[in-house]
Amino acid sequence: MLRTVEWRNNKLSIIDQNRLPAKLVYIELGSVEEIADAIKTMKVRGAPAIGAVAAAGLVVAAIRSSAQTPVELSRAVEAAADVIRSTRPTAANLFNGIDRIVAVLRRNNGRPVSDVIGEMSAVAGDYLEEDVRGNQRMGRYGQELIPDGANILTHCNAGGLATVGYGTALGVVRAATEAGKSVHVYADETRPRLQGARLTVWELMRDAIPVTLIADNMAASLMRQGKIDCVITGADRIAANGDAANKIGTYSIAVLARAHNIPMYIAAPMTTVDISVPSGDAIVIEERSREEMTEIEGLAIAPKGARVINPAFDVTPAELITAIITERGVLRPPYSESIARAAGV
Q: What is the 3-class SS of 25-61, one letter each residue?
A: CEEECCCHHHHHHHHHCCCCCCHHHHHHHHHHHHHHH
Residue 86 vs 217, nearer CB to a second copy = 217
Q: With CA atoms as reference, report the closest residue to 286 among 317, 310, 320.
A: 310
Distance CA 13, CA 6 (A): 5
216 burial level (CB within 10 Å; 0-12, 13-18, 19+): middle
Distance CA 72, CA 236 (A): 33
Minimal distance, residue 223 CB to a second copy, in Å:
9
- Under DSSP, is residue 5 helix (H, G, I), strand (E, B) or coil? strand
Distance CA 105, CA 77 (A): 8
Minimal distance, residue 45 CB to a second copy, in Å:
16
Minimal distance, residue 282 CB to a second copy, in Å:
15
Minimal distance, residue 299 CB to a second copy, in Å:
6
Residue 4 vs 121, nearer CB to a second copy = 4
How big is the CA angle at 227 (ends 222 and 230), to the nearest 5 degrees?
Answer: 100
Residue 114 vs 221, nearer CB to a second copy = 221
Residue 22 vs 345, nearer CB to a second copy = 22
Q: With CA atoms as reference, report the closest residue to 72 among 104, 96, 105.
A: 105
Residue 44 vs 201, nearer CB to a second copy = 201
Minimal distance, residue 271 CB to a second copy, in Å:
25
Minimal distance, residue 167 CB to a second copy, in Å:
17
Q: With CA atoms as reference, report the closest residue to 266 among 220, 321, 337.
A: 321
Residue 122 vs 302, nearer CB to a second copy = 302
Q: What's the one-letter identity of residue 335?
A: Y
Q: Which long-range contacts (CB under 8 A, 24 or more apart) does 206-210 make?
A: 206/2, 207/174, 207/177, 209/173, 209/174, 209/177, 209/183, 209/185, 210/183, 210/184, 210/185
Distance CA 256, CA 238 (A): 20
Catalytic site residue 236?
Answer: yes
Binding positions for a second copy, rule: CB under 8 A? 21-22, 155, 188-192, 194, 197-198, 201-202, 205, 210-221, 224, 248-249, 251-252, 255-256, 258-259, 293-294, 296-297, 299-311, 314-315
> Is the separation of the CB atoms in 313 and 158 below 8 Å?
no
Residue from 131, 236, 243, 274 carrying the catalytic annotation: 236
Residue 72 vs 287, nearer CB to a second copy = 287
Minimal distance, residue 26 CB to a second copy, in Å:
19
The residues near 122 (Cβ < 8 Å, ≥ 6 apart) are: none
Which are the catalytic amino acids? 236
